[in-house]
Structure 1
Amino acid sequence: MLRSKSTWKIPPADAAAAARLSKGLAVSPLMGQLLSARGITRPEDALSFMESECGHDPFLLKGMKEAVPRIRRAIQEEEHILIYGDYDADGVSSTSLMIYLLRHLGASFDIYIPHRSNEGYGLHNHAIDWALTQGVSLIITVDTGISACTQIAYANERGIEVIVTDHHEPPEELPPAYALINPKLPGCPYPFKGLAGVGVAYKLAEALLDGDVPPEWTEIVAIGTVADLMPLTGENRALVRRGIESMRSSRFPGVRALLEVSGASPGAVNSVHIAFGMAPRINASGRLDHAGRAVSLLTAEHMEEAVQLAGELDMLNKERQLVVERITEEAVARLEALEALPPVIVLAGEGWNVGVVGIVASKILERYYRPVIILDIHPETGMCKGSARSIPGLDIYAALTSCRECMDHYGGHPAAAGMSLHRDRLEEFAAALAAYASEVLEPEHFVPVTETDGEIPLGALTLRAADELDRLAPFGMGNPLPRFVIRGAVVKEARTMGQGNRHLKLALQQGGDVIEAVAFGRGALMDLLPVGTSVDVLAELSVNEWNGMRKPQLMVQDLAVPEAQFFDFRGSASAFAKSRRLFELLQCGEPDRTAVAIVRGESARQGRDWEGFELWGYDNNGSLHPLQADKKEAPAAPSLLCLLDMPESPEELEAIHLLFPEAENVALLHPIRSGRERLQPPSREIFKLLYQQLAALTASPLPEREVLAALCRRCSLNIRMVASMLDVFEELEFIRRADGQITFVVSPASQSLTTSSHYQRLGQMAEMERVFMEGSVPQLREWLRERLYRVSVS
């Protein structure tokens, strides 16, 4: 049994709606089921979603009617304008778009983006002072400013007017700006609230250009919207779709260079390439250097400059990956040392680069699945700057608002936020968040859940269906890549691939249907998925193109083996290492899972690190006992039961069954005995030969030890076999045992061998040893199913 990483949530099926959509749109049944699972039940709604051409009048945005004439007057009167942006990919995109807009309008302008580490988020007074020295009379913020009450008041005092364009959650007190443009403002009638900062900037461009916006500008909108994890629904969907289409033949040198260094083919670029190729490199600029370098790339006018800048961002991104890895390891070490995890993880450290703490928070959240705040502490001032990432059950912006008195500044969304505070308030801050979370979070909130698009038979995952899915693109937040659950598929082939065998490639079969599946980063599971294993899979459907051939392929996101497994590593030269490796694979990051190893005697644990295992040994009476002093009771359902020595009697097998009746997985790791060392099935011929030799040896009483040795030599039987046969003779009163000696009974009563319980037991032991030593996989499965576990032998 292999557990999935999360609970797969299956939406209720609406077969009638799915059939109606499939027929009305002339699409595959899979497409019909997918649309209905996402709440689209009418063909006309589906067409509207797929065509995604919706847009809204920019003047519906509150503040737009005031902002547009003020900007036009500034341009007409040749005022110097400052574009004030943010240092993340949305802020970089917003700033770049405004540069294109003001260039297009012939404006006089400068840009200012604060340094993430040295200055931090938001509008700053010293930047306003600098703007004044540059002759700035109007500041236009992009992707920032909605919380800058004191700073905008300061600008007003200095004679600079400020227009704020932002999309973050507005605070209760709004800044005294000349105009505030944010779809989330109270009373704003704009119908779509999910615009990114760059989306709001684009609406300003629409208003200033009377709707005649150059179509290629949507490329910049697409980058910022996808990178900032905005929902790809409504107007965002239309903007990003148009942007990606334009990007496939982009005229922007910066976009072309960024695609190249990201390894994306321009003609096939999609939202995934933006999210995982372009956005990390843009963000790396603001995380480890200054975001101005990324703005220079997106606004570059010459290819040579763009190629150089893209290469620099690529190197910064590689450096960023190393920094994230180091901080994550330090954070995990501190968490592992805790007796219990708090409901909200708050960790702070000196030298934790403030530019990457958000990424670290995401990694810690993925590992422990609870809200996380990671902060960098300035060693001299003691000021902490950090980022938060949260789970669906906790609105982190609301949580921060509940303890806002602890912080100097904060802002963000329900799922992510940023904040600054002094280290002296860290303890108070963490306690306040824990108290708030304890009131909000229930136990079920700490269980990761993955939304799926339904349970699908393998036969429905066709090439036609894979091609049709492109009609639902672009994919991202609010419109995720479709994920399907396939249950009861059988592993037909399995192999690892890639450097270091990191990835897993499977051929899955269900009935007569077979499809290839790739699981990136899951190569280690190869040992758990031998051919014939029945698996449940959560996967995305894609198209594999190779040498002009196209076929459907699954990209595995999660995988489970729903039944207990039986791992056959009999005769392994490294049984201990195999045991530990199996347990690590099956543990799946869950520290509460247990493993049991059963050995004969105590020598197996010498010189071995059995941490995480419970050791049990066979008793002489056929029962089991713990080999560790602190273990008294056996776990009824260990995740792994390793038999490093096989049971040698029905009593020992029954003892295993009684102690561990619900073991999730069983591994056979016992040595293989040669034929001479094994028990033989009892027969009249063997007993007749032994009886004759016994009669010749024991005319008078002899020590049992000498009798056993002599009989082994004369009959070519091992000592275990001879001792078991003597038990039969004793039971039938053919011999007598007393004081360590054996006496032959000359004229015993005539009795059939089969009446002896020892004879029957010897037959059971010989059969058990044969199956454990040489039985095929199907024989093991059936034999153990009847006698011990209901397992699926792999």
Structure 2
Amino acid sequence: MLYSKTKWHSPVADPVQSRELARRLSVSPLVASLLAARGMAVPEEALAFINAGTEEEHDPFLLKGMKEAVPRIKKALQEEEHILVYGDYDADGVSSTSLMIYLLRHLGASFDIYIPHRSGEGYGLHNHALDWALQQGVSLIITVDTGISACSQIAYANELGMDVIVTDHHEPPEVLPAAYALINPKLPGCPYPFKGLAGVGVAYKLAQALLDGKVPEEWLEIAAIGTIADLMPLLDENRAIVRRGLKSMRRSKYAGIRALLEVSAVSVENVDAVNVAFAVAPRINASGRLDHAGRAVSLLTTDDPVEAERLAGELDLLNKERQMVVERIVAEAISRLEERIKDGRLPGIIVLAGEGWNVGVVGIVASKLLERYYRPVIILDIHPETGCCKGSARSIPGLDIYEALSSCSELMDHFGGHPAAAGMSLHLDNLEAFTSALEEFALGVLTDEHLVPVTEADGEYALADLSLKAAEELELLAPFGMSNPLPKFIVREAVVKETRTMGQGNRHLKLVLQQGGATVEAVAFGKGELAELLPPGTGIDVLAELSINEWNGSRKVQLMLKDLSVPQPQLFDFRGVRDAAGRTQRLWNLLLPQTGGRQGLAAAVVRKDWLKEQELPECQGMTFWVYDQYNGISPVDNLPGEDDGSHVSLLCLLDMPETTQQLDALLQTFPEVENIALLHSLRQERERLLVPTREQFKMLYKWLAAIAAVPVPEQEALLRLSRKSPMSLRMLRMMLDVFEELDFIRREQGQLSFVTRPAARDLASSSHFMRLSELAEMEQYFMEGSPSELQEWMESRRLGAS
């Protein structure tokens, strides 16, 4: 039994609505059910969504402040004023700044740009930057993706005689800055119908207003990058911006975009929103995280292919460096956390701080720890000289991290954010109190239910529904991103037909799944270690995305596995493995972390002499047991608390039972075991027991009549018998036990003698015969039986013993 990493939840689409959509729109039942499940059950709404394009554009002058901003910018153009574009260092800020450069170049403006350094200056407007702008002769500042909260800075700009036009999309504060114009769809009283624009989307609307709607189509490529990278909802106008932007990008004339796609190993002709999110955006963001975002702006605005290639290469190297920095900090953070939680109890909110933890990547580190532990996480970088701690938080749906920070605001110098993510700074002296206050807050908010991650799926389907035609038709719903995610499908009761690993170090998993007459290949990146838990024949449930695999002109459907589970108990066959203890540790690591929030325990069972030969592997939460001649099975003195084995979910047999009584005791001791791993060594065939037959006993009786007519040393008799018989010495000894019990032979002082004319006795009346039969049957299953045969036989023993 293998538990999924998350709990899967899927809506149930109304079948009547789905059928009507399929009929009215001429789409497949699968696409119709997806539209209905996503709230587009009315055919007209669904059709508008599918055909999203220019009709989704809203009048830019509906944005509050646009009517004041446009004349002021036109005046600056006419009077040849020097304009400053003030941006931000993330991908949205870089895109917004780049779009404004194209706009001001197009208008023939005199301008400069300014983007603050992430670690050296931090987010937002800064007075020293305004002083620099004044020295450059700037009289008009246009902010992009920033400025809506910069009250004091804009007041300072006004004192210096510079007008400020703010274009932003962040949540406006209660007190707004006294700017010449504020353009933000989220402003109170703003009639703009769509509130989900990115910063670059607001900049694009400004360009539309200044150019009377005649914006070059290729500028949408820049707008699409920022919209996708900033995780804006791909609905309404954003859907049109991204769809048209991607279409233009597939034949892009921008040297920078082409170079960026090439260095990201993305085909220009086939680029989609997923490529932008996971290949393009991280490289742009790497510039602002580890260097200065100006390098990314230069890339997006150059028309020189040679310079573009150089800059794209630099961003790629910065991204690789960013990945290594993140990996290092994640490893250090996990190590510190594991030392802190040796009792196994995670804090409600994980707070970790360290020197040299690059403040530009602490948000990524927090996200990775959240994914691993599913707890709200705060990662802080400590300045070694000042003791200032700057960090980022990421949270789960059950806890509003902004509310949590607000509850201890007096301990911080600054903080801000929203329910899912936040940033903060505080002094090292307050770190312990800060951590304790957040832990106390979490105790009052989080329940066990909150700590089980949930993945939203789009429905349960059969493999036959996930056809090549269905995969092709999904493009009607693209582009995919926030608020319009790539569909995820649940398939239950599929069967694994083939299992293999692929990629460097066998990191990835590839399965062939079958359900009824349908067979589909499935790939799970980073899950290669699960291959040994999914042998052919395993029943499996999967959560997957649907894709098309193209190779050498051939196109076939392929599932991209996001999660999987095996809903029935499993028996893993590692018989004869060399390092049984090491494999036990590996299984522990693979199986128990997958228990979906359950507190799983593991047990390993060995012979007593095994303990003398080897040291017990150190596995926290694993108990060790030994086979016992009298009690069947007994614990080694390492049981946690009063645990009696009833909660064990993983049972590792490092040795097979020596008697059927021990097997029955094993099955009774671990009644709720979900997975059993066979790790025992295999006896040489010559040493194994055979299920005894009457013919074998008849033959042995004849040989004994000849060999032991007069008393003979038993050892000598055994050697002579072994030369005549293919049976092992173990088998022969146990057969002699049967004959002795039936008075067919006598054993005295090491001598063995044959009894002539014994009383007739039935073999079945011998307890030794019954023991040999049972033991030989058990050994045959444990040594030679297939996993399914052994599992079925053990289950029959369990039922018989219960």
TM-score above 0.5, yes or no: yes
The one of 669, 689, 695 equivalent to 1:659 is: 669
State which drifts further: 719-728 or 285-294. Answer: 719-728
Q: 1:238 — aligned with what?
A: 240
Contact 2:718 2:733 in 1 (8 A): no
Partners of 2:665 and 2:135 in 1: how far apart? Answer: 86
Match of 2:271 among 260, 269, 272: 269
Pairing 1:77-476 to 2, within 5 Å after superposition: 77-339=79-341, 340-476=345-481
Q: Is the 8 A contact 1:708 1:723 kept in 2?
A: no
Distance 1:779 1:342 in 2: 45
2-structure distance, mates of 1:657, 1:226: 55
Provide closer, same or farther for how the CA distance between residues 419 and 305 of structure 1 changes in structure 2, counting only shifts above 3 A.
same
What secondary structure does 1:655 align onto?
Answer: helix
Q: Please name the residue that 1:645 is paired with.
A: 655
Is the Cα–Cα contact under 8 Å of residues 708 and 722 in structure 1 kept in the other structure? no
Aligned to 1:783: 793
CA offsets per residue over residues 662-720 of structure 1, 9 Å max, x none?
Answer: 22211222222234322233334444555577788989999xxx646644643655454
The TM-score with structure 2 as length reference comes to 0.92
* Among candidates 753, 768, 773, match of residue 758 of structure 1: 768
TM-score normalized by structure 1? 0.93
> Is residue 668–residue 798 contact of structure 2 (8 Å, CA) maintained in 1?
no
Contact 1:693–1:711 (CA<8 Å) still a contact in 2?
no
Q: Which runs of 5+ in 2 are unaligned?
A: none
Out of 499, 503, 528, the residue aligned to residue 494 of structure 1 is 499
Instruction: Report what 1:671 is aligned to.
Output: 681
Conservation of the 8 A alpha-carbon contact between 1:161 and 1:178: yes
Decide whether the 8 Å contact of 2:714 with 2:750 is kept in 1: no
What 5-or-longer segments of structure 1 have no aligned partner? none
The farther-off stretch of 685-694 and 307-316 is 685-694
> Is the contact made by 2:2 and 2:594 (CA closer than 8 Å) also made in structure 1?
no
Tell me, in whole angstroms, the C-alpha distance in 2 between the residues paired with 1:577 and 1:431.
39
CA separation of 1:177 and 1:395: change in aligned 2, threshold 3 A:
farther
Which amino acid counterpart does residue 660 of structure 1 have in structure 2?
A: F
- 1:260–1:789 CA distance, 2 compared to 1 (3 A): farther
Partner residue, 1:23? 23
Provide Cα deviations, 1:593-645, integer angstroms capped at 9, x if missing partner.
Answer: 43322212242574445122422111112611123445664432434222222
* 168-177 vs 125-134, greater mean Cα deviation: 168-177
Equivalent-residue separation in structure 2 for 1:690 and 1:529 (angstroms) = 45
Would you say the 8 A contact 1:169–1:413 is kept in 2?
A: no
1:724–1:758 contact (8 Å) kept in structure 2? yes
Q: CA deviation at 1:477?
A: 0.9
Q: Name the SS of the counterpart of 1:763 in structure 2.
A: helix
- Shifted more, 708-717 versus 390-399: the winner is 708-717
CA contact (8 A) 1:399 1:436 kept: yes
More divergent stretch after superposition (605-614 vs 375-384): 605-614
Partners in 2 of 1:531 and 1:300 — Cα distance?
A: 54
CA RMSD, aligned part only?
2.6
Give CA-to-partner distance per residue, 1:302-360, whole Å, 9 cap, x none.
Answer: 22221111111111111111111111111111111123322222222111111111111
Local SS of the residue matching 1:571: coil
Larger displacement relative to structure 2 (223-232 or 174-183): 174-183
Partner of 2:571: 566
Note if 1:614 corresponds to 2:623.
yes
Q: Tell me which residue corresponds to 2:44.
A: 44
Residues 84, 112 of structure 1: 8 Å contact kept: yes
SS of match in other structure, 1:353: coil
Mapped to 1, the partners of 2:161 and 2:256 lie a distance apart of 36
Matched, 1:3 2:3: yes
* Secondary structure of residue in 2 paired with 1:514: strand
> Given the superposition, is the C-alpha separation of residues 582 and 337 from structure 1 closer, same or farther in structure 2, using an over 3 Å criterion?
same
CA distance in 1, matches of 2:181, 2:627: 81
Shift of 1:179: 2.3
Over 3 Å counting, the alpha-carbon distance change for 1:627 and 1:720 in structure 2 is farther
Q: Please tell me whether the aligned partners of residues 95 and 222 of structure 2 are also in contact (alpha carbons under 8 angstroms).
A: yes
Matched ranges for 1:524-563 at <5 A: 524-563=529-568
Q: Distance in 2 between matches of 1:60 and 1:605?
A: 82
| Distance change (3 Å), C-alpha of 1:276 and 1:157 | same
Q: Larger deviation: 158-167 or 330-339?
A: 158-167
**Aligned residue number for residue 625 of structure 1:** 634
- Mapped contact 1:2–1:586 kept (Cα < 8 A): yes
Instruction: Tell me the SS of whatever aligns to 2:648.
Output: coil
Contact 1:168 1:413 in 2 (8 A): no
1:440 aligns to what SS in structure 2? coil
Separation in 2 of the partners of 1:712 and 1:646? 27
Counterpart AA for 2:690 = Q
Letter in 2 for 1:595: A
Local SS of the residue matching 2:322: helix
Q: Indicate how the Cα distance of structure 1 residues 425 and 59 shifts in structure 2: closer, same or farther if over 3 A, else same.
A: farther
Equivalent-residue separation in structure 2 for 1:436 and 1:61 (angstroms): 40
Contact 1:596/1:640 (8 A) holds in 2: yes
Query: Partner of 2:607 in structure 1?
Result: 600
The number of equivalent residue pairs is 787
CA distance in 1, matches of 2:110, 2:612: 78
Cα distance in structure 1, aligned partners of 2:433 and 2:158: 35
- Aligned residue for 2:176, secondary structure, equals coil
Between the aligned partners of 1:433 and 1:85, the Cα distance in structure 2 is: 33
When structure 1 is superposed on structure 2, of 263-272 and 714-723 the one drifting more is 714-723
**Matched residues in 2 for 1:344 and 1:81: separation?**
45
Q: Distance in 1 between matches of 2:17 and 2:718?
A: 80
Identity %: 66
Shift of 1:198: 0.9
Is the contact made by 2:600 and 2:647 (CA closer than 8 Å) also made in structure 1?
no
Q: CA offset at residue 236 of structure 1?
A: 1.0
Which range moved further: 509-518 or 34-43?
Answer: 34-43
- Segment of structure 1 superposing worse, 599-608 or 196-205: 599-608
- 1-side partners of 2:144 and 2:408: how far apart? 27
Q: Secondary structure of 2:280's partner?
A: helix
Mapped partners of 2:432, 2:190: distance in 1: 39
Cα gap change, 1:714 to 1:260, in 2 (>3 Å): closer
1:506-527 deviation per Cα after TM superposition (whole angstroms, max 9, x unaligned): 2111111111111112222221
Supply the distance in 1 between the matched residues of 2:179 and 2:740 (Cα, whole angstroms).
Answer: 104
Contact 1:83 1:142 in 2 (8 A): yes
Take 1:52 and 1:313, find their aligned partners in 2: how far apart are those partners? 33
1:683 matches 2:693 = yes
Residues 641/626 of structure 1: CA separation in 2 closer, same or farther (3 Å cut):
same
- Of residues 370-379 and 433-442 in structure 1, the stretch that sits farther from structure 2 once superposed is 433-442
Greater mean alpha carbon deviation, residues 655-664 or residues 410-419:
410-419
